[in-house]
Chains A and B, each alone.
Chain A
Amino acid sequence: MKKTYSKHMIHLFLLPALVFYVGFMIYPIASALLNSFFEWNGFLRGDFVWFKNFIRLFTESPFQETFFNALEHNVVFFIVLIPAKLMVAYALALVLHGKLKGKEFYKTVFFLPKLLSVIVVGYLFSLILNPSYGALNTALDAVGLDSWTRPWLGSPATALLSIIFIDSWYEFGFAVLIFLVGLQSISSEIYEAAKIDRATGLTLLFRITIPLSMPSIMIMTILTFISAFESFELVYAMEGTSGGPYYSTDVLALFFYRLMFGSAGGGESIGLGSALAVVLLFLISGATAISMGFFKRKEVDY
């Protein structure tokens, strides 16, 4: 009797994690998927309508305009982050990987911004970029570049780019660390062999260093893609729920927020919002799946 009792007790090790995970992660995500295929009237579920919500989102005004406008900003976000965050971070990682005093100091300092809450970063920079009293315009004035001063977050021409650069400021230190891990995994024998072949600086960089640190480059590119398509808090803190000025910083997650918790979707917000959630889910999960596949294959051996 006691034997069977303790035999079943063993499943108690798995049970709590499984209950939390299924109840509050898998079940809600499955519901979001399912909800996107139904017609909604407020909180009342109507008929099963196949892809109607998706089609409306992509083709019907005003959803279509908002959707593609926001999507474009997500794409710009990703594309600008590649040079602004990733390339800068890779260059810094290369320098830190070489002979340098105070490496630990630099690593610590680069990483520091990442410790702040995104909302703090957003608010801090909206003060720094304030057109009248902000530190940036004051500094530009002080060094005689007063023609450069502008309402950074108030003008559609600069708002999105400003936010992307702030995101780079927040995240680049983390990228430096990931790249460093990648660079440190390259064995020194390869470099020595290359030096015997009289390979020089740039050849070494493009023929050996970059190809051999491809796994960390890939993982950072995909993480950057995900963060670009998930971005919400920074824009929310700096430009509000409608991605001002004039929707010039609107992103998909903000549109999703307005559909779900604002009035952008009218009475059908759950259907349209869930459809948008599913689109984002496919983009983000797809990217993650690719990255994990990449990691299984690992790097090319020389």
Chain B
Amino acid sequence: MKSFFKYAFVSLFAFLSLYPIFLMIMSSFKTKKEITTSPLGLPHRFSFDNFVEVWNKVNFAKFLGNSVWVSVISVLIILFISSMAAFYLARFNYRWNGIVLFFFMLGLMLPMKLAISPLYMQLLKLNLLDKLSGLIIVYVAGHISFAVFLFFGFFKTLPKDLDQSARIDGCNNFQVYYKIILPLMRPAMATVAITDLIKVWNDFFYPLIFIKTTEKGTIPLGMLSLFGEFDTQWNLLFSGLTLSSLPMIIAFLFASRQFIEGLTAGAVKS
């Protein structure tokens, strides 16, 4: 009896989590009329017309391309420069290293969004406004602290003997980093990559402010123009929402364990 209530309780919340997403996906197959006449029913037939229409009408391919470009490049730069900085801070004993580390850690508690107007002016001066590269720079700057913090912690658990023996074998610092450190860092890299990928991919705030030309928007910004233009065609709205959520949901279903571990590690450690 007691275990019946347990299952009922978790199942209720599983249902609550899934149903809106299920409804979104089902509604995106319906015709415009079907959505108003039977909003809760299943679609009469599974046609991909809505998806095709959204794809063509709002230039979805462009948004998708921009999102992929911005998130992949941002994450790669974050991984690359933060791992190098953490390597420097953890493996060399300069007297300023403690202060520099603390300085990076400050970023964990500063909400960057509040600096939006100086950032805006800065990008304007550097001619980076309304450009994807401007977005990438802002994402990189905002995620360095967390990555350095996590990588630094990782180096502390990694025995120094490995890189020292490589040095004896004649490797210079860059070779040690590239040949020894990078391959060993894969688990920590995966955590940072997944956490930042979700954040950058889903971000709406910075594109909203920095991107003015519709064609330069990322997917979340594409939703804004979709809802502005087709606000009465719910079939298109639902299929647009589904289309924009699918990449993350599919990625999650393939690597849900890594996603969950990555994000929880991120929160517990920060």
A interface residues with partner B (beta carbon < 8 Å): 6, 9-14, 16-18, 20-21, 23-29, 31-32, 35, 43, 88, 91-92, 95-96, 98-100, 105-120, 123-125, 127-128, 133-135, 138-139, 142, 169, 172-174, 177-178, 181, 216, 219, 223, 226, 230, 232-233, 237, 253, 256, 260-261, 270, 273-274, 277-278, 280-281, 284-285, 288-289, 292
**Does B59 interact with chain A (Cβ within 8 Å)?**
no
State the CA gap A19–B113 with chains docked (Å): 19
CB contacts under 8 Å to A, within B165-220, are 172-174, 177, 198, 201-205, 209, 219-220
State the CA gap A99–B10 with chains docked (Å): 13
Decide: A25 and B24 in contact? CB cutoff 8 A: no
A-B contact pairs, 29 of them (CB 8 A): A6-B172, A10-B88, A13-B88, A13-B177, A20-B81, A24-B122, A24-B141, A26-B107, A27-B118, A28-B122, A32-B118, A35-B117, A95-B6, A100-B7, A110-B17, A112-B249, A115-B198, A116-B21, A116-B248, A117-B203, A120-B223, A120-B241, A127-B237, A135-B39, A139-B40, A216-B268, A232-B205, A256-B114, A273-B117
Q: Find chain A residues with CB under 8 A from B223 CB.
A: 117, 119-120, 123
Closest 5 CB pairs of A and B: A24-B141, A28-B115, A288-B109, A31-B118, A17-B85
CB within 8 Å for A29 and B115 given contacts A117-B204, A117-B219, A120-B241: yes
State the CA gap A115–B244 with chains docked (Å): 11
In the complex, what's the smallest C-beta–C-beta distance from B84 to chain A, in angstroms? 4
**Does B263 interact with chain A (Cβ within 8 Å)?**
yes
Of B20, B82, B117, the residue contacting A270 (CB under 8 A) is: B117
Closest chain A residue, CB of each to CB of B219: A117
Chain B contact residues, majority secondary structure? helix
State the CA gap A3–B51 with chains docked (Å): 62
Decide: B248 and A115 in contact? CB cutoff 8 A: yes
Decide: A117 and B220 in contact? CB cutoff 8 A: yes
Q: Find chain A residues with CB under 8 A from B248 CB.
A: 115-116
Closest chain B residue, CB of each to CB of A201: B2
Most buried by B among A29, A173, A274, A288: A29
Decide: B122 and A20 in contact? CB cutoff 8 A: no
| Interface residues as binary, B81-108 with A (CB distance below 8 Å gives 1, 0 otherwise) | 1101101110010000000100110111
Closest chain A residue, CB of each to CB of B223: A119
**Does B145 interact with chain A (Cβ within 8 Å)?**
yes
**Does B1 interact with chain A (Cβ within 8 Å)?**
no
CB within 8 Å for A288 and B112 given contacts A117-B223, A174-B267: no
Decide: B7 and A173 in contact? CB cutoff 8 A: no
CB within 8 Å for A133 and B234 given contacts A110-B17, A292-B109: yes
Of A14, A25, A92, A219, the residue contacting B107 (CB under 8 A) is: A25
